[in-house]
Amino acid sequence: MAAIGTKITPEEAINWFTNQDSNNKYLTIPEDIYLSIDNQTAHQIAELFNGKFLIKFPEREIKFFEWLKKEDISVWNDLWANSEEDLYFASISFLPVLIDKSIGFPICDLLDNDNYFFTPEHIDGAEAKMFVDSIMERFMRRDSLTLGQSLLLNISAMPTDIWHFAYNNNVALEKVKLAVQELIDENLILHLTEAEHLAGFIKF
C-alpha cells in the first residue's frame, strides 16, 4: 500500500481488498482508497467482492448523515434507528456511488417517510426534456437558475435525493421540497413516494 496521502493505483486498491480477512465482514476502507479509485475500479472491486464485505462510509458521507440526523431525524431514524453494529455500513456493491461526491449513499427506500428520490427517467415527457435542454443552455451561459431549475438539471444528470442535494448545495430542506412541488405542478417530474414503486428505478 502506498504511503498515506499518496494516490493509490487500481492494482494496489484491489490487492488491499484481497488481503482483508474474509471472516471479518465489517470493513473500514482507508480514506486514500476512497479518494483514489475511479468509477471503473470501484465497479470492479464491487463485483469481485460482492457479498463478502460490508463497508463503512467515507468520512464525508458520515458527516452528511450526521447532518441529516440533526436536520431530519425522522428520515435518519427510518434508515438507521435499528442499526447499532452496522451503523454507516453498507454492502460493498454501493462502492461506486460512495466514491461519487455528488451521489453518495442513496436515500431511496424509506418506509415511514415519503421518498424524494429521482432519476433521469422521472423527468416526465418530451416537453419536460426540452425544458431541461433550455436550462442546460442557461447553465452553459452562466445565467442564474432558480432552485427548481438547478434541481431538475441535477436530476437529469444523475440519481438525486433531496437530502444530498440540500446538503451539497447548502439549501434548506423545506426550500428543496417546495422546489419539488413546483416541478410536479408544472408536470416536469414524476414523484413516487413509496419505496416499492421506486425499486425499478434503482440501478447502482
Reported as a single tens digit per residue, the pLDDT across 104-113 is 999 999 999 9
Reported as a single tens digit per residue, the pLDDT across 62-80 is 999 999 999 999 999 999 9
Cell triple for 5? 496521502
- Enclosing domain of residue 80: 10-98
Residues 136 and 179 in one domain: yes
Question: What is the pLDDT, as a whole number, of residue 204?
Answer: 66
Asked, for residue 112, whether it belongs to a domain, the answer is: no
Asked, for residue 1, whether it belongs to a domain, the answer is: no
Residues 123 and 173 in one domain: yes
Q: Which residues of the chain fall below pLDDT 50?
A: 1-4
Reported as a single tens digit per residue, the pLDDT across 186-199 is 999 999 999 999 98
Residues 25 and 57 in one domain: yes
Average pLDDT, the chain: 93
Number of domains forming the structure of the chain: 2
